[in-house]
Amino acid sequence: MFEAPYLLFLGDAPDALAAKMAQGIYDWRPEAVAGQYRMEGCGADLKIKDLSIKEAVAAGAKTLVVGVVNRGGIISDSWMSILVEALEAGMDVASGLHTLLRDQPELVAAAEANGRTLHDVRIPTVKYPIATGKKRTGKRCLAVGTDCSVGKMYTTLAMDREMKKRGLKSTFRATGQTGILIEGNGVPLDAVIADFMAGSIEYLTPSNDADHWDFIEGQGSLFHASYSGVTMALVHGGQPDALVLCHEPTRKTMRGLPDYTLPSLEQLRDLALPIARVVNPDCKVVACSINTQHLSEDEALAYLAEVEAKLGVPAVDPFRQGAGRLVEALD
């Protein structure tokens, strides 16, 4: 989709959270990153080489990737001159922001004048088919969550990395902008037209070797009033053989929905499994992936043991413990 190496643009990110996207790219594809660009007053730091636009080009950077979000997902005026400078210096620009690069006349003009490309990864560039529900060869694992932002992407990236480390056949299948920026391709599912959602996921996870696993990045939650339709399409389009249930145990209410509490992992299993079995009768819940970042080590281990006893499948925090047991649960 777009070329490495990248210059990660952190802009004027007030803190590390605002540069989460850049951090994600660096964590999972360090080999693709040439360095970071931070504006004066930037409060985020990936602890990698700071490069000017000129230095980045000299270091071989091909694409400036906007790795920062701000309120409203807009492209602030203060960024504009730097992005234009990058285009003029010969880099492409990629972004997952809601505001599109292609809607900025200054950027369009600079890209045209310099023969460069603007990559808006949030917008589908493929005409996806209607889903057929046909059985494909190869295996698929999907992360489903009790809520949005509980670690579904992290879980599938960690499982994919662990599979590759073990010399097993595996692909991470990105369905959101950060995942796409990390993997270099994928389906921006939240921007796909309703009728083509499931078809876009069939397209993303085609037939493959019998012993190959796709690790499909989850989106939303079947229990999230705003985005459940997206999740549903992911389950039916992905036709998973294995589900990994993702949860953040200290979260009080659903993300963006203060009136809603989170379902339990049992409730998630009991809803997700019959839905998945509509398209794949052999689908199983193989493991739970728990984001224990807000628990102490002792609390985390106790909680994981509790979940494991209740659900009868391995419960793991891949960030603390690695994804080994998650991958072994696929057998």
Tell me whether residue 11 or residue 186 sits nearer to its own copies (CB atom).
186
The residue within the footprint of its own copies, chosen from 44, 56, 142, 197 (CB under 8 A), is: 197
Binding status of residue 230 toward its own copies by CB under 8 A: yes
Strand pairing category for 170-173 and 118-120 = unpaired
The residue (of 270 and 306) whose beta carbon lies closer to its own copies is 270
Other CB atoms within 10 A of residue 235 CB = 26
In angstroms, give the least distance from the CB of 201 to its own copies. 10
- Among 195, 209, 211, 299, the residue binding its own copies under the rule CB under 8 A is 195
Query: Rounded to whole angstroms, how far apart are CA atoms 86 and 110?
Result: 9
Question: Is the CB of 13 or the CB of 204 nearer to its own copies?
Answer: 204
Tokens standing for residue 308? 């494991």
The label of the residue with tokens 């270099």 reads: 184
Select the residue interacting with its own copies from 47, 71, 134, 252 (CB under 8 A). Answer: 134
Count the site residues for its own copies by CB under 8 A. 42
Closest distance to its own copies from the beta carbon of 263 (Å): 8
Nearer CB in complex with its own copies: 56/279: 279
Kindly tell me which residue out of 66, 121, 189, 245 binds its own copies, with binding defined by CB under 8 A: 189
Which residue lies nearer to its own copies by CB, 14 or 133? 133
**Region near its own copies per CB under 8 A, out of 144-152, 226-234, 285-293, 317-325:** 226-234
**Contact, 91 vs 63, CB < 8 A?**
yes
d(CA 320, CA 299): 13
User: In angstroms, what is the minimal distance from the CB of 300 to its own copies?
Assistant: 28
> Which uninterrupted H or E stretch holds 161?
helix 152-165
Q: Please report, for residues 14, 92, 123, 172, 212, the alpha-carbon distance to residue 180 in angstroms, rounded to integers and kept in the order given.
A: 24, 16, 11, 10, 20
Report CA torsion sign: 134, 135, 138, 144.
positive
Site string for its own copies, 248-277 (x = CB under 8 A): ------x-xx-xx--x------xx--xx--
Q: How far is the CB of 55 from its own copies (least distance, A)?
A: 38
Q: How far is the CB of 207 from its own copies (least distance, A)?
A: 15
The answer to whether residue 223 forms part of the interface with its own copies (CB under 8 A) is yes
> Please, how many CA atoms are within 13 Å of residue 66, restricted to the half-sphere of its CB?
28
Sign of CA dihedral 178, 290, 157, 204: negative
Identified binder of its own copies from the candidate list 113, 225, 302, 305, rule CB under 8 A: 225
For helices 105-114 and 77-88, give the axis angle rounded to 10 degrees. 10
User: Treating both helix axes as pointing N-terminal to C-terminal, what angle do 228-238 and 265-279 enclose, rounded to 10 degrees?
Assistant: 50
Structure tokens at 323: 């994804």
Q: Of the two residues 11 and 263, which places its CB atom closer to its own copies in the complex? A: 263
Residue 118 binds its own copies, judged by CB under 8 A: no
Place of tokens 């900025």: 104
Burial of 195 (0-12, 13-18, 19+ CB in 10 A): exposed
Residues engaged in binding its own copies (CB under 8 A): 130-135, 189-195, 197-199, 222-223, 225-234, 236-237, 254, 256-257, 259-260, 263, 270-271, 274-275, 278-279
